[in-house]
Amino acid sequence: MEMLKKENLLMNQPKADREDVIRRCGRMLVDSGYAAEHYIEGMIKRDNSFTTCIGNHIALPHGEEAYKVDIISTGIVALAFPEGIDWQGTVVYLVIGIAAKGDEHLDIMGNVVDKLETGDDVKKLVREGTVDDMYVMLCGEPS
C-alpha cells in the first residue's frame, strides 16, 4: 500500500479546532486503511500529553506508543491551513497525520525538515502551493 496518496493531501482548509483536526487526520488514516478506529484516540491522547507541534508552524499528530498495535500499514495525511490554527498556543499552518510501523516514516519526515526549514517556507507552501507541490515536498519526487 502507498504510504502517501494525493487524495490525502488537503489544501486550503478552513480554520478548525485542534482536536477536530487531529480527529480528521485520524479518520483519514482509518478510511485509507492505514490504521484501525482505535488509533484516533491514541492520537488525541498523545497530543494532550505532549504537543505534536514541532515548530516552524508544523504539527505531526500521531498515536501514543501503546496504540501502535492499531497501525495496519504506514500512512501519512496532510492538511494545509492558510489562515493558521491554534495548536495549544502556537499557530500551525501544516498538519501531517502519521500512522507509522517501525521507522518507515522517517524518510518523509526528513524531507519535511529539509524542505521546510523556516516558518516562511511552510507559509509559502500552504498559501501558494498545490497538491503536487505538497506531494513532492513529502515524498521528494513527483507521482
Active-site amino acid positions: 62
- State how far the Cα of 66 lies from the Cα of 52, in Å rounded to an integer: 16
Radius of gyration of the chain (CA): 14
Residue 123 cell numbers, joined: 507559509
For residue 50, the tally of other CB atoms under 10 A from its CB is 9
Element (H, E) at 98: strand 90-99
Helix 131-139 vs helix 106-115: angle between axes, to the nearest 10 degrees?
110
- Reported as half-sphere exposure (CB side, CA atoms, 13 A), residue 46 has a value of 24
Residue 79, SS3 per DSSP: strand
